[in-house]
Structure 1
């Protein structure tokens, strides 16, 4: 029996201020001492069994020992209390779960664009052979990918039409969109992608609550800008491409949260061929 339930079997102590009302015990078997009437009234009908004895059993009328009912009810309360505590703890952990670390990995022209006005990326150098400019090694550092619809449509076109291998194999891929549903995902990719109508920051929070996602690769201009505005980007790997295109989609051009400066530290910078330079930035936040 647990220590919690054992308290029901502890003998009841009589407070000192009540001991004067207790009738002194008579010696058992003394023929000269009459039984006190108060004791007889308290004992009641000798034919009836006293509550609380282990030998109590239900009678024909279905009456049950009050002590046994008390024990049973106490056990139920303990079980319910434990279940409520566990649920409350799980809910608190779920709601307070931190968002995953976020990282952006993208190519940027010298004049600050990540795509042409129509979304084309034809200005980016194409990998040759097994040289992927380090993208494969980078993917090994993340658990999930978060992207917008336009970026997903481009990737899906490469995979479905051009038979390019799915680049995110083994990673959970979340597409944030208010104009796209799961039914819009091409059949070959339906099991590889999850579509959500949540905002990028809401989707990140949901990923953090699963407890299995620690680092997320964020892709797509609108998705990246949305998280940059909310100061929810922790790392940026920007590859400077030696080309100017004049017009296009920019990563920048928004007001920062609370209109304050965002400070970044440079953790590495290296040339990766064809005139490109890859620089890694870490967001500097006050603790």
Structure 2
């Protein structure tokens, strides 16, 4: 079975980053074992991570260690080389979503973690997202980088589960209606 899945946090008003493209607002959530287990379980269910250059730049500037134990494919038409220290962690690609999915599936990557606003939006436009795990943090940012953008056609998802993971963190799992 092949699947393309999203795992992302949003503000109550639907933003994944604030107006300065920062995700520091996520720090209001005290990380606990339950939250770490949720992400760890998700990572164990995927084969690789697909993200855009902007998301990669945000993640590599986290103070923590590199959060992924899987191969990461960074999509970019402008990034010419892999930053020092990430040579064994990422691979640069420049492909449209459908071609990319076929390429990765043919390389044995069947369950893809699609991360980052623009990348998620592009995959949604091509109808290539099978599941979204969206964690909502109860903060209103007012403006910023939205998770969703305009689509040429509506996409219907069904709610599989919603749960309170922590005091500042709910999680809803959506599956694409096919």
TM-score using structure 1 length: 0.58
Q: Which sections of structure 1, spanning at least 5 residues, go unmatched?
A: 1-97
What whole-Å deviation, never above 9, does each CA across 1:236-258 have from its counterpart, x for those lacking one?
001111111110111223123xx
Q: Using CA pairs under 8 Å that are at least 6 residues apart, name the structure with larger relative contact order, 1 or 2.
A: 2
Larger Cα-atom Rg: 1
Equivalent residue, structure 2, for 1:180? 79
**Cα distance in 2, alignment partners of residues 194 and 141 from structure 1:** 20
Equivalent residue, structure 1, for 2:9? 107
Matches within 5 A, 1:20-169: 100-124=2-26, 125-128=28-31, 130-133=33-36, 134-158=38-62, 162=63, 164-169=64-69
Equivalent residue, structure 1, for 2:140? 244
SS, match of residue 240 in structure 1: strand
What whole-Å deviation, never above 9, does each CA across 1:30-69 have from its counterpart, x for those lacking one?
xxxxxxxxxxxxxxxxxxxxxxxxxxxxxxxxxxxxxxxx
Q: CA deviation at 1:132?
A: 3.3
Equivalent residue, structure 2, for 1:194? 91
**Cα distance in 2, alignment partners of residues 151 and 249 from structure 1:** 12
**Cα distance in 2, alignment partners of residues 265 and 234 from structure 1:** 11
Equivalent residue, structure 1, for 2:157? 264
Question: Would the aligned equivalents of 1:176 and 1:200 in 2 still touch at CA under 8 Å?
Answer: no
**Cα distance in 2, alignment partners of residues 129 and 238 from structure 1:** 18
Instruction: Provide closer, same or farther for how the CA distance between residues 266 and 129 of structure 1 changes in structure 2, counting only shifts above 3 A.
Output: closer
Which structure shows the higher strand fraction? 2
Q: Which moved more, 1:144-153 or 1:246-255?
A: 246-255
TM-score using structure 2 length: 0.91
SS, match of residue 102 in structure 1: strand
The CA RMSD measured in Å over matched residues stands at 1.7
Q: Structure 2 residue aligned with 1:209, among 106, 111, 130?
A: 106
Question: Would the aligned equivalents of 1:110 and 1:243 in 2 still touch at CA under 8 Å?
Answer: yes
Equivalent residue, structure 2, for 1:282? 175
**Cα distance in 1, alignment partners of residues 104 and 32 from structure 2:** 35
Q: Which sections of structure 2, spanning at least 5 residues, go unmatched?
A: none
What whole-Å deviation, never above 9, does each CA across 1:121-169 have from its counterpart, x for those lacking one?
11113443545351111111100000000110111222xxx3x222112
Equivalent residue, structure 2, for 1:227? 123
Instruction: Provide closer, same or farther for how the CA distance between residues 112 and 128 of structure 1 changes in structure 2, counting only shifts above 3 A.
Output: closer
SS, match of residue 106 in structure 1: strand
Instruction: Provide closer, same or farther for how the CA distance between residues 129 and 264 of structure 1 changes in structure 2, counting only shifts above 3 A.
Output: closer
Alignment coverage as a number of residue pairs: 176
